[in-house]
Amino acid sequence: MIFIIISSVVFLDQTTKFLATKFLQLNTPLPLIKNFFNLTLVHNRGAAFGMFQNQVFMFLWISIFAIALIICCLRDKKNSFNFKISLSLILGGAVGNLIDRARFGFVIDFLDFRVWPVFNCADSVITIAAILLTWELLFKKNAA
């Protein structure tokens, strides 16, 4: 189950990024919902909100370390099912963005809600999983 979740997230992320690079022009918004939602292909050379620009090797090592830590947590039989699901989603998103950084030196982003920095499917999954993980850790007994 965990492997299916991770590979599904990576597949979704990489497929949508492939389609974005194939059909969108760099830094040129394609409005889908006027004044609300665009598809805008950008190359994010930083972290969240574009911080720490052009620190590719730092991001690669941090990602590898985080992935290794998540794998260790996933292997621990004491962790709850929901905790492992959340970590699996985060791992899938981290791997998706790591693939971009390793291949291109930047992360491909394309979802643009105009009031928030442009992001991608991996970022969305990581955010949702972080919320689920926080809920699990704060409100469930024996979560981790």
Catalytic annotation present for 123: yes
d(CA 99, CA 49): 19
Set 13, 100, 109, 112: catalytic member: 109
**3-state DSSP call for residue 32?**
strand
- The tokens describing 104, both together, are 């291109």
Helices 121-139 & 81-104 angle (0-180, nearest 10) = 150
Set 13, 100, 112, 123: catalytic member: 123
Of 22, 16, 23, 37, residue with least CA distance to 99:
16
Catalytic annotation present for 109: yes
- The tokens describing 72, both together, are 């260790």
Helices 81-104 & 2-23 angle (0-180, nearest 10) = 30
Catalytic residues: 109, 123
